[in-house]
Amino acid sequence: MRLLCILASLVLAADCANTKQRTFGPAARHTSETPKDIAAFQTQSASVSSLNLQDAAVAFAAHKGFSVAVTGTVSSPHLGLTHVHLVQTLDGVEIVNAVANANVRTSSGAIHSFTSDFYSSKEADLELIRRHEAGQLLDPLPALDAFFNELGLVPPSTAGASVSKHPQGLLGKRDFPPSAALPGQRPFRRTPDFEITLPSLAGVSAVGLSAPHSGPIAVPATLKYLRTDSNELVPVWDFEVDLGNNYYNAHVDARAGKKSSKRTLSLVDWVSENYFEAEAPKGDDEGEIIYERIVERVSYRGKDAKRKLHGKFKKGKKGDNVEPYQKQKNKHQAAMVVDDADSEENNERSSIHGVYKVYPLGTNDPLEGDRNLVKGPLSLVASPNGWHWCSGGKKQCPYGNHTVTIGNNVYAQENLDGSYNGWENKTRPDGTSKLIFDTPVDLSQDPETYVDAAVINLFYWNNAIHDLFYVYGFDEVSGNFQDSNLERGGLGGDSVIANAQDGSGHNNANFATPPDGSHGRMRMYVWDVTTPWRDGDFEGGIIMHEYAHGISTRLTGGPANSGCLGFGESGGMGEGWGDFFATALRMPNDASRDIEFGMGDYANGGKGIRRFKYSTNNETNPSVYSFVQKPAYWGVHAKGEVWAEILYEVYWNFVDTHGFNADWFDSPLSHAGDNLLQHASGNTYQEFSTGRTRTRKSVTWPDATKNSLPKSDDPYPLGGNVLILQLVVDGLKLQPCNPSFVDARDAIITAEELLTGGKNKCLIWKGFAKRGLGVGAISGGFDSFKLPQECM
């Protein structure tokens, strides 16, 4: 069945393959303080240097007349900044979309920049607790019921629900301190006022509900404020509703007696999916781009498609030139192909190291290269106890580690039945006490026959991404995904739950990113567009894209706020960062700027899943900023293609100028003075795609006291690829909540100024300007191809 889906957001899930609800909310109102205002504050606050960095940010907000609380503090030592995230409070109640990002100089406590969305009107009725006690506010259960009705749940799912009041919630306390008294030294985190326990949703249908729940669902409910587009301050119930393939954070109007056709004022889905569909771009007579989409009904793998994990499978035919599948329980090949120089180290390797037969980083999929035996972890700073560390000790793990695909960073398992509950007890391949995971694959067979190999590949990629982005700044304090944070700060208990061959859908993938301290959740699906079907677990770019949602969401607005990339241009960039990371990190060592990449080529049978390949050739990829105004680009995934293409242009400007460093772990952050990461990986690194051990090149910095700043005309010592990856990650920390393309561009430019003193700003401007984000571009998709005068 073919359907022309131009206005995809207006089509029901049953008619189009996208099952997600349209996300929405009030528009951001960013106010960036001028250097003059900041200087005036510094002059008036002579004692600012004596304040800790959080208090300096709080003091600046108070100087502007706002009461705030600190929700998180993240460091960028190589930039000399600490990022303090704030939320505005009124009588101890936060305004969910009134937040600020204060970038404070670590050495002095001086404010470097301050961007906020604060509410400034003095006309609001702030006596929220009194209004609730007087019955002027809607109770949480009918508010949740209103949300479910608007979501389309049939039948209403609050029947039989129970509501319990938290004694430590704001509504349960009479003596809650005013927000000014909240200590800046600790993150502000409200205890939910109520918890609503819903019965099982088995048998309940809804737009966006893609998997049945076999158990009860707990929904935290917290009374907060929301500033609307009309600048009205409205009391709302903040709900966190986990429906499996959707994890909604909804803000529902709490005013009793309010007559409105719609109570849900803001809706963000913490699950980001790639909306993978076969699309063929076509051009009409007016130059507009229309997409004829092959619509595939999203459905569960039915009984006919399901088989027991330990059932009988067909083996590959002789002469297939593939690895015949043999189900082995606790049996693994003893022979391993390793470098001669590495064999001695391998024989004497520590028990924390594992060996994995996978398509490693740099090998995107089976069409791009072979599986190799590679070792992990990839960074002993990011994963000092290895990838299978068991915090329960030898009583829980006799060998000192888990021997299956479980560790501090990820739990990887099959989920063939598509269930929501019970992931803890799913089947996983066992590497024995030697931690050798070498399972053969026969790609000519049904994916279910090589599910163990899929789990191993998924486990490896999640850990590898964790280790790689750690050395670029996605660490514990920044909200990364770890069960134990090793006493390094942040909230633990949030390793990634990674499901291979998840039976709740197909031809897609998704990632859930709730706030720091709650598990990330990755669901990888089988693709049925080829014969035999193909497994998304073997396409590294898809895994990278999904994990990148966790990175960009936790870094933008701070790890406690998962709502900063929910919709609009912000949501689009959330998709674009994933494509950019996936594309850059699969780059061959000898690649040049004329190389082009698709996304999802393997899984989707060679067709790809994006409108255009990523390319610096305008004929291959004509994307410019103004494309986001087109009806076909109203969705976040289409917007993301534009953002990823812009970053791809900037990437090649850096590589052409500074060269390519095959050692992606040699990040600028790892060379930041006395930083923990300095020389942490020693003098060798593991090459992407081959897994071979290589000698790390020595770096001579012109100035040991400013080792990230080479001389003005010298190439950047570490290479252009690692430099631009660092700047993009830094930009995530610098930018405000709900950024526009212009905000994100400016954050990257600021990061470059702080790291390399503006020596590379023209490389950035030329890439952005080529695609319409030059000087004078206006948020909303208004192009400018103009360069700064000094870059012409």
Reply yes or no on whether the pLDDT at 304 is more than 90: no
Question: Between residues 696 and 496, which one has the greater pLDDT?
Answer: 496
Q: What is the pLDDT of residue 746?
A: 98
Confidence class of residue 753 from pLDDT cuts 50, 70 and 90? very high
Confidence label for 682 from pLDDT (cuts 50, 70 and 90): low
Query: Does the annotation mark 649 as catalytic?
Result: no
- CATH no., domain 625-791: 1.10.390.10
The rounded distance, in Å, linking the Cα atoms of 388 and 409 is: 9
- The pTM (predicted TM-score) of the whole model is 0.85
Q: What is the pLDDT of residue 320?
A: 28
pLDDT of 711 higher than 70: no
DSSP secondary structure of 336-386 = ----HHHHHHHHT--TT-EEEEE--TT--STTT---EEEEE-S-TTTSTT-
Higher per-residue pLDDT: 3 or 575? 575
pLDDT of residue 126: 54
Handedness of CA 343, 345, 351, 354 (dihedral sign): negative
Residues across the chain: 792
Query: Per-residue pLDDT averaged across 81-99, rounded?
Result: 91
Choice between 443 and 262, residue whose per-residue pLDDT is larger: 443
What average pLDDT does this structure show over 250-272?
88
Q: How far apart are CA 631 and CA 638, in angstroms?
A: 10
pLDDT of 256 reads: 85
pLDDT at 717 over 70: yes
CA 716 centroid distance within chain: 28
User: Which whole number is the average pLDDT over 113-128?
Assistant: 74
Lowest mean pLDDT among 93-102, 213-222, 781-790: 213-222
Annotated catalytic residue, options 546, 569, 687, 752: 546
Binding residues: 353, 545, 549, 575
Say whether pLDDT at 551 is over 70: yes
What is the predicted pLDDT for the residue at 178? Answer: 33
- Write down the pLDDT at residue 534: 97
Residue 281 pLDDT level (bands cut at 50, 70, 90): very low
| Per-residue pLDDT reduced to its tens digit, 385-420 | 999 998 766 666 666 789 999 999 999 999 999 988
Which residue has better confidence, 680 or 283? 680
618 DSSP assignment: T
Query: Which range has the worst mean pLDDT, 284-298, 491-505, 535-549?
Result: 284-298
CATH top-level class for 306-563?
alpha beta
pLDDT digits (tens, 9 = 90+) for 492-539: 999 999 999 999 999 999 999 999 999 999 999 999 999 999 999 999
**Residue 128: predicted pLDDT:** 61
Q: What are phi and psi of 224, to 5 degrees?
A: -140, 180
pLDDT band of 316, cuts 50, 70, 90: very low
Whether 760 shows a pLDDT value over 80: the answer reads: yes
Q: Measure CA of the first residue to CA of the last residue in the chain; give whole Å.
A: 51
Provide mean pLDDT across the span 108-135.
73
The three-state DSSP-derived secondary structure of 704-739 is HHHCCCCCCCCCCCCCHHHHHHHHHHHHHHHCCCCC
Break the chain into its structural domains and give their ranges: 1-18+275-298, 25-270, 306-563, 625-791
Closest-CA residue to 579 (of 610, 558, 557)? 610
Q: Rounded CA gap, 225 and 121, in Å? A: 13
Average pLDDT for 353-360: 95
Q: What is the residue-averaged pLDDT of the chain?
A: 80
Q: What is the mean pLDDT of residues 257-265?
A: 82
For the beta sheet containing 279-283, the strands, ordered from the edge strand earlier in sequence to the opposite edge, are 2-4, 289-294, 279-283
Binding site listing for Zn(2+): 353, 545, 549, 575
Separation between Cα atoms, residue 261 and residue 343, nearest integer Å? 69
pLDDT of residue 441: 96
765 Rama class: left (phi>0) / alpha (psi -120 to 50) / beta:
alpha
Position 770 pLDDT exceeds 60: yes
pLDDT at 74: 93
| Residue 170 banded pLDDT, cuts 50, 70, 90 | low
- Asked if pLDDT for residue 751 goes beyond 70, the answer is yes
pLDDT at 23: 84
C-alpha distances in angstroms, 366 versus 136, 148, 333, 604, 662? 61, 43, 21, 13, 21
Mean pLDDT in residue range 760-768: 98
Of 310-314, 585-589, 606-610, the range with the lowest mean pLDDT is 310-314
Q: Tokens representing 621?
A: 């990829």
3-state secondary structure of 489: coil
Q: What is the DSSP letter of 538?
A: G
| Winning range, highest mean pLDDT, from 50-64, 478-492, 645-659 | 645-659
pLDDT in the model for residue 314? 28
Tell me phi and psi for residue 344, to 5 degrees: -65, -45
- The pLDDT tens digits for 13-52 are 222 334 456 788 888 888 888 777 787 777 666 555 546 8
- Tell me how far apart the alpha carbons of residues 33 and 54 are, in angstroms, rounded to a whole number: 18
Share of the chain above pLDDT 90, in %: 55
Where do runs of H (alpha helix) occur along 351-450?
393-396
Among 148-162, 663-677, 765-779, which range has the highest average pLDDT?
Answer: 765-779
Interstrand relation of 496-500 and 410-414 (parallel, antiparallel or unpaired): parallel
- Type of residue numbered 268: V
Q: Which two tokens stand for residue 770?
A: 């080529």
Residue 91 — very low, low, confident or very high, per pLDDT cuts 50/70/90? confident
pLDDT in the model for residue 10? 27
Which pLDDT band, with edges at 50, 70 and 90, does 591 fall under?
very high
- Asked which of 39-53, 250-264, 767-781 is least confident by mean pLDDT, the reply is 39-53
As a whole number, mean pLDDT of residues 570-588 equals 96
